[in-house]
């Protein structure tokens, strides 16, 4: 912009960070201060931050980002800048990769460094990018600016949702920008999530009249008169349009400046606000306009060599036109390329071209890029716009691009693949393969409804039996993942009924059938088939053997044969580990970890789930990425570690939401509900119950997690004072022996709760059924003492057996909360019998201690109330007293995390040393920051150094 006759004073922060004066940058002081505040926090305290900038084209986003870069650069920040654009959105992670100096080589390395058969490298890429960023930001504060995220691919959105919170404790400032007029729901959702996690969100509005007048004065170097201000109003407060308009009028000599004021030279000033960019272009020579129209097809940024090839001229011949385009400010240099100075300028040039001309130029660009060999992705963006039905060479290029992009961005691959299917004639021999690829990509990208619809549509074509069976298998798999087990079983059966299918396909179809039968709680219908498979294992591949073992796990489980269920589970893990990728993708280790958790063999469960998580990452099975955290949430709850349980559940649910997968989310919701209930936060528990209901209905009763989570919802309903609702939810557990056996093995606390609740509501026969089932399970599985302890507790409640309750309260095979519950039941029984006061108080004190040590504040409050009724008052915590804030408030775990942070370890490294998950480390770190009133690793390391001599922090000297 032109110089200004007056400048505002610089704003200087305590750390010396300044906001430079910018002529023409008016009406944005609040936004500038937001940038300065974030950069100051990073420079002074090592704190991270996120600034979200959004608005319409031309409203000033680029200027705000440039201000952030200039301010950060002046004060020694490391800088990383990247941008997405319409022509590069097919390149996975484009804005982040370009900002961090990564390239296509990184994607190739992902394929080389992961499992040979890996088809999804998103998890590997996220780990690599996080490690690279941590290496850089450990050296000092850093600013990452990512522009035009409304054009970013879905993997970029996934990466940002993961990386930003993971790196929040480093001096890393993110500035993210998007244009809102494109209405891209993915980025709107990303911004909503980040704002909810504390990001500063700036929605740039049009300038008001005062700021508009100041911009005009900046451009003109004089105060505008009334006629010019009236013309400025037509720009709608858009800074870019204002600048283009008045710079153009100056160039044309249409404005006279005298005595510090500006006025039009004629009252016939053209009303061309809506065409200011085209007006600038109209002043160019025809040759330069022609050059820019071709350049615009290549994208907002373009290599000069590509432009020269498109025009069929040596680059040197184009120098006059290129110089004119730069001199007039239409394009500017950016790195090794030229770039249209503004998005609106680029759009104006492309809109000049008629649709047929645009399509022809896109086709030319696509063919040019294809002819060079190498990656087909750059050409695919052009060919998607221009390819005609039946164009075999262009469709082959799209096929190649799908194969390239599928491992790192399946959603982008799905868009390419479905477009290729649309352009393929119904009777084209290639249509089947393209349809299969598209269904697979849609499934991998979490777009399960679209995958199912395309598969059903494709089945309407004339297909060979093997082709039909293959499509039905893919359809069955998508239906299974979508939580529709009955439909999945039906499609798998149809696939198996096709004549002459290969052994491999038969195994795959049987595998998905076994998993769907298992998911649908219809174990017996597949039992005979599974046993037949295992009777002749030499006739079958690893994939179907894993499926058969997994189904029989739960056949045995519902029969109450726990030892055999564990044996099948361990064998499923062994077979999968030695088999191909399809077999390993069943991840039986997750289920083994769950069984061990149910039986309270928590140390082994921890080890198994850690191995399962490593396997999921190594194999690139992103659809299962949330599962380990959700299974660990139940494990942490069983260990009475409520904070860690909530941390794992939230992490798993957030990732599941981002990926669009629903497997095991019922467990996560139920864990959060039970944690909130134990803490006495019944409103939060009720909100989780409200979330649970539609998820359960949508899952059509998918077995895994539904029985346990429904019990959890009944517990919450009872805690909220609605026993009628609690009994209604729990009714299948009282009436269905199979579900009751399942739950009583899976949850030691269920038998006492079901017994107590039914007895309190006058349903003694239901109570007797529960106790009878619990005792049968205990007698049939003497190797698992947690079952016997739970049955003892339930029997004590039913028969008023104080000795049984006392044994349960002292059992080492029950968790802390379960023992406290038995002790409370004992205390209540003794009170009802008017037994000696000391015995009652002793039992209730034991319950109070257990509840308090396990963080169950609601239960502890109830027991304190019982004690007060006996004239006994107890403090809120009988263990080690800690203040709420300050160094002495840190728990032992928090001190260990602090010591490792002080040594410079990252969250994954700390997790490895402490044998916990990175999600749990992050949670503890947030707790430490809250207690100490800080927000960065830098501040924490300083405090740790100050306190380590007197506190003896682990790992410090």
With a cut of 80, say whether residue 112 has pLDDT above it.
Answer: no
Mean pLDDT, rounded, for 886-892:
85
Strand segments (E) across 180-325: 200-203, 223-224, 255-258, 261-264, 301-302
Report the 10 Å Cβ neighbour count for 290: 13
pLDDT band, residue 2 (cuts 50/70/90): very low
At 113, is the pLDDT very low, low, confident or very high (cuts 50, 70, 90)?
A: low
What is residue 55's DSSP assignment? E
User: Can you list the pairs that 225-232 forms with residues at least 24 positions away whose Cβ atoms lie under 8 Å?
Assistant: 225/261, 225/262, 225/263, 227/263, 227/264, 227/267, 227/269, 228/255, 228/262, 228/263, 228/264, 231/264, 231/269, 231/271, 231/273
Q: Quick check: 116 pLDDT over 60?
A: no
Q: Distance between CA 409 and CA 403 in Å, rounded?
A: 10
Report d(CA 846, CA 888) in Å as an integer: 27
Confidence of residue 705 (pLDDT cuts 50, 70, 90): low
Q: Are strands 255-258 and 261-264 parallel, antiparallel or unpaired?
A: antiparallel
Place of tokens 């469960």: 605
- What is the pLDDT averaged over residues 443-468? 91
Tokens of 177: 């920008």
Average pLDDT of the residues in 906-928: 83
Mean pLDDT value across residues 766-795: 96
Distance CA 879, CA 887 (A): 18
DSSP conformation letters of 892-938: HHHHHHHHHHHTT--HHHHHHHHTS-HHHHHHHHHHHHHHHT---HH
Q: Note the residue count of the chain.
A: 957
Contact yes or no for 382/366 (Cβ under 8 A): yes
Position 882 confidence tier, pLDDT thresholds 50, 70, 90: low
pLDDT score for 584? 75
Using CB atoms within 10 Å of the CB of residue 14, give its burial: 0 to 12 exposed, 13 to 18 middle, 19+ buried: exposed
What percent of the chain is modeled with pLDDT above 70? 90
Mind listing the pLDDT tens digit for each residue in 529-565?
A: 899 999 999 988 898 999 999 999 988 988 899 999 9
14 pLDDT band (50/70/90 cuts)? very low
Q: For 162-179, what is the mean pLDDT? A: 89
Token pair belonging to 547: 């499926």
* Secondary structure class of 334 (helix, strand, coil): strand
The whole-number pLDDT of residue 307 equals 95
* pLDDT top residue among 808 and 485: 808
- β-partners of residue 80 are 144
Residue 52, SS3 per DSSP: strand
In this predicted structure, the answer to whether residue 753 has a pLDDT above a threshold of 80 is yes
CA–CA gap between residue 952 and residue 957 (Å, rounded): 7
Q: What is the pLDDT of residue 21?
A: 39
Residue pLDDT, tens place only, 676-685: 999 999 999 9
Residue of 119, 143, 125, 115 lying closest to 43 (CA atoms): 143
> 355-409 pLDDT, tens per residue?
899 999 999 999 899 888 878 888 888 888 888 887 888 898 899 989 888 888 8
CA distance 601 to 212: 69
- CB neighbour class for 535 (10 Å; exposed up to 12, middle 13-18, buried from 19): exposed
Report the SS3 class of residue 569.
helix
Whether residue 31 has pLDDT greater than 80 = no
**Confidence at residue 704, expressed as pLDDT on a 0 to 100 scale:** 57
Q: Are 186 and 157 in contact (CB under 8 A)?
A: yes
Q: How far apart are CA 864 and CA 806, in angstroms?
A: 20
For residue 880, pLDDT over 80 is answered with no
Q: Is 147 helix (H, G, I), strand (E, B) or coil?
A: strand
Please state, in angstroms and rounded to a whole number, the distance separating the CA atoms of residues 679 and 641. 12
More confident residue, 864 or 9: 864
* Number of C-beta neighbours around residue 360 at 10 A: 14
| DSSP-assigned beta bridge partners for residue 174 | 50, 144
pLDDT higher for 34 or 337?
337
CA distances from 404 to 121, 127, 132, 719 (A): 12, 20, 23, 53
Mean pLDDT of 942-947: 85
Among residues 392, 397, 399, the alpha carbon closest in space to that of 418 is found at 399
Q: Could you report the per-residue pLDDT of 362-376, keeping only the tens digit for each?
A: 999 998 998 888 788
Pairwise pLDDT comparison (469 vs 111), residue with the higher score: 469
- Cα 45 to Cα 908: distance, rounded to the nearest angstrom: 23
Residue 104's pLDDT is: 53
Number of Cα atoms under 13 Å in the Cβ half of residue 147:
18
* 11 has a pLDDT exceeding 70: no
- Beta-carbon neighbour count of residue 266 at 10 Å? 9
Task: Indicate whether 605 pLDDT > 90.
Answer: yes
Q: Kindly report the average pLDDT of the chain as a whole number.
A: 85
Give the pLDDT confidence score for residue 885 in this predicted structure.
Answer: 85
- pLDDT surpassing 60 at residue 497: yes
Sorting pLDDT into bands at 50, 70 and 90, what band is 106?
Answer: low
CA distances from 266 to 254, 263, 269, 270 (A): 7, 9, 6, 10
**Predicted local distance difference test score (pLDDT) of residue 46:** 81
How many Å apart are CA 587 and CA 613, to the nearest integer? Answer: 9
Examine the pLDDT at 105 and tell me if it is beyond 60: no
Q: Are 250 and 269 in contact (CB under 8 A)?
A: no
Judging by beta carbons within 10 Å of its beta carbon (0-12, 13-18, 19+), is residue 69 exposed, middle or buried?
Answer: middle
Residue 337 predicted with pLDDT over 50: yes
What single-letter DSSP state applies at residue 876? Answer: S
**pLDDT tens digits, one per residue of 305-327:** 999 999 999 999 999 999 999 99
Task: Show Cβ contacts of residue 268 under 8 Å, excluding neighbours closer than 6 positions.
Answer: none
- CA distances (Å), origin 52, targets 89, 196, 203, 824: 20, 12, 8, 52
* HEC letters along 486-537: HHHHHHHHHHHHCCCCCHHHHHHHHHHHHHHHHHCCCHHHHHHHHHHHHHCH
**Amino acid 407: pLDDT:** 82
Confidence (pLDDT) at 250:
81
Q: What is the mean pLDDT of residues 851-874?
A: 92
Is residue 594 a contact partner of residue 628, using CB atoms and an 8 Å limit?
no
pLDDT given at position 700:
53
Alpha carbon distance 717, 686 (integer Å): 8
Evaluate if residue 795 carries a pLDDT over 80.
yes
Strand partners, 142: 78, 172
Alpha carbons 841 and 386: distance in angstroms, whole number: 82
Q: How far apart are CA 898 and CA 880, in angstroms?
A: 20
| Percent of all residues in the chain with a pLDDT value above 90, rounded to a whole number | 40
Q: Which residues pair with 201 in a beta bridge?
A: 52
| Euclidean distance between CA atoms 465 and 450, whole angstroms | 23
Can you give the pLDDT at residue 22?
41
- Given a contact cutoff of 8 angstroms between Cβ atoms, the answer to whether 573 and 587 are in contact is no
How far is 570 from 591, CA to CA, in rounded Å? Answer: 10
By C-alpha distance, which of 817, 816, 772, 813 is closest to 795? Answer: 772
902, burial (CB in 10 Å: exposed 0-12, middle 13-18, buried 19+) = buried
Going by C-alpha positions, the residue among 406, 519, 340 that lies closest to residue 153 is: 406
**Crossing angle between the packed helical segments 642-659 and 154-166, to the nearest 10 degrees:** 160
pLDDT band (50, 70, 90) for residue 13: very low
Q: Which residues contact 465 (CB under 8 A, 6 or more apart)?
A: 498, 499, 500, 501
Given this model, what pLDDT does residue 83 score? 86
Helices (H) and strands (E) in the chain, counts: 48, 13
Span 668-672, average pLDDT: 95
Q: Are 583 and 621 in contact (CB under 8 A)?
A: no
Asked whether residue 270 carries a pLDDT value surpassing 60, the answer given is no
* Structural contact between residues 743 and 557, judged by C-beta atoms closer than 8 angstroms: no
Q: Which of 22-31, 253-262, 433-442, 881-890 has the lowest mean pLDDT?
A: 22-31
């Amino acid at each position: 912009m032109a110089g200004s006759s007056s400048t505002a004073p610089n704003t200087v922060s305590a750390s010396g960070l300044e906001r430079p004066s910018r002529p023409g940058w008016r009406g944005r002081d609040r936004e500038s201060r937001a940038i300065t505040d974030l950069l100051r926090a990073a420079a002074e305290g090592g704190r991270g931050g996120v600034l979200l900038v959004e608005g319409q084209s031309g409203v000033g986003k680029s200027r705000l980002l440039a201000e952030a870069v200039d301010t950060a650069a002046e004060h020694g920040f490391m800088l990383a800048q990247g941008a997405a654009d319409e022509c590069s959105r097919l390149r996975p992670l484009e804005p982040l990769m370009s900002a961090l100096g990564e390239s296509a080589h990184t994607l190739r390395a992902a394929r080389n460094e992961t499992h040979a058969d890996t088809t999804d490298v998103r998890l590997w890429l996220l780990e690599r990018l996080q490690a690279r960023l941590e290496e850089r930001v450990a050296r000092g504060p850093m600013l990452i600016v990512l522009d035009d995220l409304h054009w970013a691919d879905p993997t970029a959105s996934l990466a940002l949702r993961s990386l930003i919170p993971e790196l929040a404790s480093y001096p890393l400032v993110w500035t993210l920008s998007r244009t809102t007029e494109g209405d891209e729901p993915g980025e709107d959702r990303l911004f909503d999530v980040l704002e909810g996690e504390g990001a500063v969100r700036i929605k740039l509005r049009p300038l008001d009249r005062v700021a508009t007048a100041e911009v005009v004065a900046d451009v003109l170097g004089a105060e505008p008169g009334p006629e010019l201000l009236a013309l400025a109003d037509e720009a709608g407060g858009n800074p870019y349009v204002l600048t283009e308009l008045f710079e153009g009028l100056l160039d044309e000599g249409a404005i006279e400046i005298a005595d510090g004021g500006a006025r039009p030279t004629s009252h016939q000033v053209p009303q061309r606000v809506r065409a200011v960019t085209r007006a600038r272009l109209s002043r160019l020579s025809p040759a330069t306009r022609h050059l820019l129209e071709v350049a615009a097809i290549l994208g907002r940024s373009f290599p000069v060599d590509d432009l020269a090839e498109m025009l069929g001229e040596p680059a040197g011949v184009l120098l006059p036109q290129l110089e004119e385009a730069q001199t007039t400010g239409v394009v500017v240099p950016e790195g090794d390329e030229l770039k249209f100075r503004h998005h609106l300028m680029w759009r104006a040039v492309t809109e000049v071209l008629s649709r047929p001309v645009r399509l022809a130029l896109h086709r030319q660009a696509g063919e040019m890029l294809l002819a060079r060999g190498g990656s087909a992705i750059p050409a695919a963006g052009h060919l998607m716009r221009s390819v005609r039905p039946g164009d075999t060479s262009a469709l082959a290029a799209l096929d190649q691009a799908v194969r390239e992009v599928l491992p790192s961005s399946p959603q982008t691959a799905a868009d390419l693949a479905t477009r290729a299917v649309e352009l393929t004639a119904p009777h084209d021999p290639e249509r089947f393969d393209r349809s299969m690829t598209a269904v697979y990509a849609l499934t991998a990208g979490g777009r399960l409804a679209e995958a199912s619809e395309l598969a059903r549509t494709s089945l309407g074509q004339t297909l060979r039996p093997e082709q039909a069976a293959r499509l039905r298998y893919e359809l069955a798999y998508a239906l299974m993942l979508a939580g529709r087990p009955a439909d999945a079983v039906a499609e798998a059966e149809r696939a198996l009924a096709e004549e002459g299918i290969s052994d491999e396909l038969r195994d795959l179809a049987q595998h998905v059938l076994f998993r769907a039968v298992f998911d649908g709680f219809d174990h017996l219908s597949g039992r005979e088939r599974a046993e037949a498979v295992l009777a002749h294992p030499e006739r079958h591949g690893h994939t179907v053997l894993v499926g058969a073992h997994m189904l029989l796990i739960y056949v045995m489980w519902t029969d109450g044969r726990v030892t055999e269920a564990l044996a099948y589970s361990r064998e499923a893990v062994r077979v999968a580990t030695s088999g191909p990728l399809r077999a390993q993708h069943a991840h039986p280790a997750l289920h083994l970890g769950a069984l061990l958790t149910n039986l309270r063999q928590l140390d082994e469960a921890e080890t198994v789930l850690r191995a399962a998580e490593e396997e999921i990452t190594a194999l690139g099975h992103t659809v299962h990425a949330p599962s380990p955290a959700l299974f660990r949430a139940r494990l942490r709850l069983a260990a009475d570690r409520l904070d860690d349980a909530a941390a794992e559940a939230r992490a798993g649910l957030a990732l599941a939401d981002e990926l669009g997968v629903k497997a095991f989310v019922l467990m996560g919701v139920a864990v959060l509900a039970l944690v909130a209930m134990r803490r006495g936060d019944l409103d939060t528990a009720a909100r989780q119950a409200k979330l649970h209901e539609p998820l359960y209905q949508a899952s059509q009763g998918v077995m895994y997690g539904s029985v346990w989570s429904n019990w959890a919802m009944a517990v919450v309903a009872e805690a909220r004072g609605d026993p009628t609702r609690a009994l209604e939810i729990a009714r299948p557990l009282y009436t269905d022996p199979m579900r009751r056996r399942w739950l009583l093995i899976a949850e030691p606390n269920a038998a006492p709760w079901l017994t107590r609740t039914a007895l309190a509501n006058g349903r003694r026969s239901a109570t007797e059924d529960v106790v009878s089932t619990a005792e049968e399970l205990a007698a049939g599985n003497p190797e698992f003492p947690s079952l016997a302890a739970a049955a003892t507790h339930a029997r004590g409640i039913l028969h008023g057996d104080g000795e049984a309750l006392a044994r349960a309260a002292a059992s080492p095979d029950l968790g802390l909360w379960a023992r406290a519950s038995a002790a409370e039941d004992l205390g209540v029984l003794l009170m009802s019998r008017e037994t000696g006061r000391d015995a009652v108080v002793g039992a209730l004190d034991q319950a109070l201690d257990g509840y308090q040590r396990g963080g169950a504040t609601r239960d502890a409050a109830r027991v304190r109330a019982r004690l007060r009724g006996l004239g006994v008052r107890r403090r809120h915590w009988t263990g080690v007293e800690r203040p709420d804030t300050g160094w002495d408030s840190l728990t032992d775990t928090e001190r260990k995390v602090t010591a490792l942070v002080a040594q410079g370890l990252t969250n994954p490294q700390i997790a490895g040393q402490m044998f916990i998950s990175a999600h749990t480390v992050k949670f503890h770190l947030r707790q430490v920051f809250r207690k100490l009133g800080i927000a960065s690793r830098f501040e924490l390391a300083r405090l740790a150094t100050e306190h380590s001599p007197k506190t003896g922090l682990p790992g410090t000297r």
